[in-house]
A and B are shown apart, each in its own frame.
Chain A
Amino acid sequence: MLTEQRAEAAPREPATPTVDRRLLRRQRRSRWDLKVSPYLYVSPFFVLFGIVGLYPLVYTVFLSVHDWDRLYYRRGGFNGWANYDFVLHDPVFQKALVNTFSIFLMSSVPQIVLAVVIAALLDGQLRGRTFWRMSVLLPFAVVPAAAVLIFGSLLADRSGLVNQVLAQIGDWPVLHQLGIGPVAWHDHRWWSHFAIAGMVNWRWTGYNALIFLAAMQAVPRDLYESAALDGGGKIRQFWSVTLPMIRPTMVFVIVTSTIGGLQIFTEPRLFDDTPNREGGADHEFMTSTLYIYVKGIEDQFYGRASAAAVILFVIIVAIALLNFGLTRFLTRRAEK
């Protein structure tokens, strides 16, 4: 609306013919500049994204309906649904899917609850505000690969500090009856999920807390005042004012943590202490991304790996749509 009018408002009556031609050329160039520039500016993104983002996705679909020659790393013939058939009936894939969701739930739910609590703690007239904010973000600055190695040593099944402590306090009278003792962090399926989710939570809770904190600070303060007038305590205010007001942010965090949570790879790969590194001896903590890596890059079943990727893609898109619907539902309700 702004620039088009400007361009047309360029002088129309030139003083001399030479100036006229020059001006005309300039005007034409300017017009062309105006028309083409926006496309020029956005095109690098679309071209690059097309090559390294979109094209590989399309190629995934293509590979997923073809054979792959493992010995010579060449594409084989078209084989229809065979890869999909294999993956869908592969118990390891099913297991990986369940693991992925289990780890995802164990990480996102406590993470969001904790993040909201930490945000509420930070949302006040704290002394040394920046210090506290930066401190909760500290784990975000640790390379995950390093973090997994550190947690791996803490959670080693026999020699790890955590199990040594558990063994110690497991000898105490009451705790002994409660069955507290060392935990098979690697061998036991759900405990291994718990361990991996713990690492994910450690990295992301502070980050999400800051996002919630931003949302909380955007809450108009007169809402608190009127709640206070109604005689609500701090906890009540939190439930009746803060939580409803940060609901859109909540959805945003849930969406981003869904996309991230369904792609966990570093943790299960580096947490593994078996030589095959396929998510434990019994694939007890193999995730679907790890499945794609093992099937594709390590075992060289490109077709099957691609089919698994397509299936996962569909699942993620479905969840994203669900999230989207949920967001609209929630924001509409909030508007009412």
Chain B
Amino acid sequence: MSRRSSTATGRPGFLVYGLLAAVVLGSALPLYWSYMIGSHTKDEANDSPPPLLPGGHFFENARRVLDTIDFWQALLNSLIVATVCGVSVVFFSTLAGYSFAKLRFRGSSTLMGFVVMTMAIPTQLATVPLFVLMRNYGLLDTLAAVALPTLVTAFGVFFMRQYLIDAIPDELIEAARVDGASMLRTFWSVAVPAARPAMAILFLFTFMTVWTDYMWPLVALQDTETLPVALDRLALTGQGQTTDYALVLCGAGLATIPLLILFVVSGRQLVAGIMQGAVKG
């Protein structure tokens, strides 16, 4: 990537900033709406025209959310599943990605071709047999059932391979081998340190994917809940009466906070990761 001089594109004018501001506004408006309605009473929320400024009942509504669904447990469950999957995907992908990128073995290119192919396979289609599988193993309604299908991803292997091909000079590996290091040692002392930035990005991605997934937890869990499933239940509690949007949107707002925090903390890396993945992919 060559640095571009400012003359090529020039300093953007007001129009560009204005349009971008409009885009950002569109991105943020639905969130604003949820916190805004979520901070009013049920009756105020159903007023016509609806209120447009935040009210003072957010914590009251939050308490009602906590009374209706087991929010903390759902949050913890989501956290556990997303973390386990994130760690597992990063570990196995780094291992396999390193092997594909830097080691020579028979069948390597065919196996890699297989990995690339499986990236295009929509695994959601196999929901029913996966459900049967989990049932036969007595895993339904456990967090293990939610985590299992995402312990490895083809994307992860692909992503790590692409990164590691350029990130580790072959000489480094050779040097380690000359020093008499075993393959595993070489992996730990050479590949892992070099892969660290990509590992962080892959963890972030997997974490978010698992955290936001709704379909599979809905199928695999009956009593236990992850956040999206708990939100679903929250939305249903009011049915048969006027929908309590103050409650539902307060819950939606609450459920958004953890990822928002993660986003603020690591958004820079996420942006870099998406852009990096694009050029390499």
Contacts and interface: CB of A to CB of B under 8 A. Distances in A.
Given A202-B30, A210-B275, A296 B208 contact: no
B12 A126 contact: yes
A146 interface: yes
A275 B9 contact: no
A297 B219 contact: yes
Contact of B129 (A59, A125, A313): A59
A270 B219 CA distance: 15
B132 A153 contact: no
Interface in A210-262: 210-215, 217-218, 220-221, 224-225, 228, 234, 249, 252, 255, 259, 262
B80 interface: no
Q: Is the interface of B mostly helix, strand, loop or mixed?
A: helix
A206 B239 CA distance: 34
Nearest to A131: B24
A262 B281 CA distance: 21
Contacts of A262: 122
Nearest to A288: B125
B15 to A, nearest CB: 9
A174 interface: no
Contacts of A44: 92, 95-96, 152
A257 to B, nearest CB: 13
B237 interface: no
Nearest to B9: A124
A4 interface: yes
Given A146-B231, A206-B27, A293-B215, A125 B268 contact: no
B277 to A, nearest CB: 8
B127 to A, nearest CB: 7
Task: Among A38, A46, A255, A270, find the residue whose CB has the most chain B CB atoms closer than 10 A.
Answer: A38
Nearest to A29: B182
Contacts of A249: 278
B245 A153 contact: yes
Nearest to B50: A161
Contact of B278 (A34, A35, A139, A252): A252
Given A46-B111, A146-B255, A225-B8, A63 B27 contact: no
A150 B276 CA distance: 32
Contact of B281 (A252, A269, A313): A252
Interface in A149-164: 149-151, 153-154, 156, 159, 161, 164
Interface residues of B, number: 108
A292 B127 contact: yes
Interface in B25-77: 26-28, 30-31, 33-34, 37, 46, 48-50
A52 B149 contact: yes
A266 B249 contact: no
Contacts of B251: 146, 149
Contact of A270 (B120, B170, B227, B235): B235
B30 A151 contact: yes
A151 B277 CA distance: 30
Contact of B183 (A1, A34, A60): A34
B109 interface: no
A3 B133 contact: no
Nearest to B270: A137
B173 interface: yes
B92 A150 contact: no
A146 B50 contact: no
Contacts of B11: 124-125
A331 interface: no
A221 B34 contact: no
The 8 closest A-B pairs by CB, nearest first: A56-B126, A214-B275, A146-B252, A145-B228, A38-B105, A37-B183, A141-B263, A41-B99
7 contacts: A42-B99, A52-B133, A202-B27, A206-B27, A266-B214, A306-B128, A316-B120
Given A123-B9, A164-B50, 17 more contacts: A34-B183, A35-B105, A45-B92, A56-B126, A57-B121, A60-B129, A125-B6, A136-B23, A141-B256, A145-B214, A146-B34, A146-B255, A146-B256, A153-B33, A211-B275, A266-B215, A270-B214
